[in-house]
Chains A and B, each alone.
Chain A
Amino acid sequence: MCGIAGLYTKTDALRSQLGVHLAAMLEQLSDRGPDSAGVAFYRDPAPDGWCKISVHSATDEPGWGDLADALALQFGDATLTGVRATHAVFTVEGAAADVEAWLRVTRPELTLMSAGKTIEIYKEAGPPGDFVRRYELAGIEGSHALGHTRMATESRVTTEHSHPFSTGLDLCLVHNGSLSNHNRLRTALRREGIHFQTDNDSEVAAGYLTWKMAQGATLEQALESSLDDLDGFFTFAVGTADGFAVLRDPIACKPAVMAETDEWVAMASEYRAIAVLPGAEDAVSWEPVPGRVYSWGTALVA
């Protein structure tokens, strides 16, 4: 079992409160996933010609300042824009793919959590309530965010095995469920050049979407083809630069509820995580139909 949550804001007032509300949603989903928690926030776009990366260090002395200097030296310019617990966010003058490749070679002990223009990913093993406080989620503003609470069934409980998983630039995936054909699929995707950090089944779903979109599929097409190629149970929420998408497998053992008001669109594993949002009692709420892609934002089918 896991818990997933997504929140998309429609007003400036709510944007400034995004972290407060996502934190409240995650706390409601703690029972569904007490092992680990993670979030993806979409905020503060990097300037033109720059990218933004989120990096995690397992050591106590990651030397974030030194890394910023090294990135600036390599790529023209770079700024350390924030540190939360074991994670740091940098903006770098250059292409995300180049930064990613350079980091993998020069700092292999670090884990790249996300790359793009606006995405920031934070995740860690441990109780969701601790995570919410340690990462001071309540202070994070942004346009939209996804969250996950994990109860591991398929692989180890570590920060690297936690969700969200990056699925490409400004894309990420959170998953409630389990996949049964992930080993063979991972082998096939590795042959196609997709890089995996763990033996986690959900990371394979993320890698699958990355690969499909690299082949030219839109996110919507990639999600639809996952219905054929992924064997198992899933409710997915996929974050994009402009919004998020939701898909449940056709058997639909894993729950999902969606709701919308004039101020926000939300999805969650259970309604109680939506009930904490302002105006929830008057929201239009519904259960997403199995096998149908739901999406918000404009860039999904670009």
Chain B
Amino acid sequence: MGHNRRARQGGVMGKTVISIGPFHPLQEEPELFTLTVEGEKVVGIDLHLGYNHRGIEKLSESKTFDQSTFVIERICGICSTSHPFAYTRAVEDVIGVEEPERARYIRTIIAEGERIHSHLLWVGLAGHFLGYNTVYMWVWKLREEILDVMEMLSGNRNNYAMFKPGGVRRDIDPDVIPVALRKIDGILPTLDMLRKAILDDPVLHARLKGVGVLTREEAIAWCAVGPTSRASGVARDVRKDSPYAAYDRVPWKMITAQEGDVFAKAVVRIMELYESVAIVKECLKSLPGGPIDLDLKGVPPGEGIGVHEAPRGEVFHYVRSDGTNRPVRHKVRAPSFMNIPTCTSTVVGESISDASIILASVDPCYCCTERLAVRTPEGRRLYTGPDLVRLSQEQTRRLRKEMGL
């Protein structure tokens, strides 16, 4: 194969060191995965991060409690509402209050709308990495519909700025609810078609089943969260285990799978889309009246913890107040911080053409495309980012041919 020949030209027959990152299409932020490969088999992995460390915890300590809500909304562009959700709950935990009933529903609607578009983004890009560009295009078209709904409800496609300690900043206009419901219903037929196309595809079964398995024991040992752990049979979801907002007021199911492979992670995310659609619809239909904000005045000294099940898993915020108008300590832990280290267990032993989809299966955000490179130990470039994507796509095509499809 082409890349083997090139590896030989690089003068390396035994172990080769491959860097994925620091700028890499599979990651939310720049990170460097250094893979050691023998032939095509990955035999070791090392992780480096911090390339985009912005010091937001420190920054938040220099802002007022209200300003911090806006700062931490910018931690992630995809799950932009998850951090304010956990943060406002942490501040409410310091004070010992809970948001009013109507605000609970509005918070739930925004958070689940975000989960829908975040999971769709992952499904689309996973499709692209496997050579299913039709899936990619279809899914991203659906995602646009959801972003439109979010714009109708909050005024923004992303970075909604809806949350504040004690409630939400803006109300949902009753006139847009029927329109939003129609739009959400509008994505379901295509979603059904995609679900069947993805989950019943024999090539995808062959390509993803048994690949990058994270066992239940490993998921627990690494303290993995969200779909990454639920696909390994760890039935943990903050929304069920410690209900908040409107999650115990509307019916929905926690989705789990047992296999722990990339396919199981895809199944969990796709099935969660349906649950989120059901939650958003039910909340919009049964939105109660009343105030949306407690109008809090100041934060007393003390400490509080807020958690929220973000699309990628539990996000955790710890806030300590000394009675002034700023937090003296604000600890933020995003779900990927716990999920990315699981790659140590899942990538080793697999083939290099599967590495990109396995690293992607924990759903670190996709951005900074085309900056993935394979190097010899002397630093000579062997593969670029597009090459690795191509390798992954070729593997799918080969499988398809072998299966006579």
> Does chain A bind chain B?
no
Interface residues of A (CB under 8 A from B): none
